[in-house]
Amino acid sequence: MKIGIFTNLFQDKPLEDVAQYISSLGYQMVELPAWEGNTHLDIEKVLKGDRSVKKILKKNNLDISALNCGMPGQLVLGPHDESTDEFAPLPDTKEKIKYAILMMKKAAQAASELEVPVICGFVGSHVWDKWYIFPPKNEELYEKGWEVFADRWGDILDTFKKYGVKFALEVHPNEIAYNIETAQRAIQALDNRDNFGFNFDPSHLIWQLIDPVVFIKTFKERIFHAHAKDSEIQEDEVRRSGVIPTGSWMRPDRGFRFRVPGWGDVKWKKVMSALLSVGYNYVLSFEHEDPVMSREDGCEKAIEFLKPLIIKAPLLKVWW
């Protein structure tokens, strides 16, 4: 298994500078943002034959683990109110959906041309506020949401199949699939397509009190990519703030907050063992969203923590 990093945290720096820095720390792969306006990967240039990104990374002994389409993916189902206006050229709902679907299809083509096997991202949800079934009508509305999900994402995944690329959903708050049971429902809604799976991120499970190991053992071969991100339920704050606090991520009194691996509540040795036991041996892509420490501290401490946990190869045969 290799250790990678999601470069989105360094959007203010050229990719070449980022590549040099993270390579010097020992990172082996990068997950690149693939939405319009990012500074590390221009999808339109890739579709016109530009391969400069691969050259920059190869020069620094780095490979691409995945493209990340978080923002256009979210727009496929929404929300489509002003909260996502900055994700799309036009604020109109229909235009947002049309734009999102087009961008996802372009990303699949670009991933294929860059020889990247998987795209990570979100699917969105226009019924997120209906998960709590009060008023009682919410249950019916939430169920109908799955029909829209299957229709839009089925179309997108047809294009992914054409280009031989897989989609890895990051099970996450504000997605129609946010826990184990809704992730299973997403698979069913898409008729068990083999190119739909997950970007395993334990940080979004911990805050819901879900065991990440159970997630791994449930979805097994559908785990296409993995994020190395921790989260912390602060025992002294959760009694007051709970696990669904609002407000700035910088609030020190949040009941739950994201952390660098090793600084939160994820039991990483159990996670690593479970990943290898189900056959996952690809990448752990560090995503830095820790409100306590700087980007540089996060990058350095994450790889220092993760390196000793890497199991170089699974045992193939017992001798006892």
The secondary structure of 239-292, three-state, reads: HHHCCCCCCCCCCCCCCEEEECCCCCCCCHHHHHHHHHHCCCCCEEEECCCCCC
Reduce the DSSP state of residue 63 to 3 states and report it: strand
User: Which CATH number applies to 2-309?
Assistant: 3.20.20.150
Amino acid 42 reads: D
pLDDT attached to residue 31: 98
Task: Write the pLDDT tens digit of every residue in 8-36.
Answer: 999 999 999 999 999 999 999 999 999 99
| Residue that is written with structure tokens 């493209």 in the block | 67
Quote the CA–CA distance of 108 and 104 in Å, as a whole number. Answer: 6
Per DSSP (E only), the strands in the chain are 2-6, 29-33, 63-69, 118-121, 166-169, 196-200, 223-228, 230-233, 256-259, 283-286
Task: Write the pLDDT tens digit of every residue in 118-129.
Answer: 999 999 999 988
Instruction: Determine phi and psi for 166, rounding to 5 degrees.
Output: -100, 155
pLDDT attached to residue 59: 97
pLDDT tier for residue 296 given thresholds of 50, 70 and 90: very high
Position 313 pLDDT exceeds 90: no
Quote the CA–CA distance of 74 and 276 in Å, as a whole number. Answer: 30
Reduce the DSSP state of residue 215 to 3 states and report it: helix
pLDDT tier for residue 97 given thresholds of 50, 70 and 90: very high
Position 244 pLDDT exceeds 90: no
**Contact present, 30 and 15 (Cβ < 8 Å):** no
Quote the CA–CA distance of 309 and 320 in Å, as a whole number. Answer: 24
Mean pLDDT over 237-260 rounds to: 91
pLDDT attached to residue 243: 87
Position 146 pLDDT exceeds 90: yes
- Which burial class, exposed, middle or buried, applies to 38 when counting CB atoms under 10 A from its CB (0-12, 13-18, 19+)? middle
Structure tokens belonging to residue 209: 């009190």
Q: How far apart, in Å, are the Cα atoms of 59 and each of 22, 67, 249?
A: 13, 19, 36
Q: Report domain extents, the chain.
A: 2-309
Position 315 pLDDT exceeds 90: no
pLDDT tier for residue 314 given thresholds of 50, 70 and 90: confident
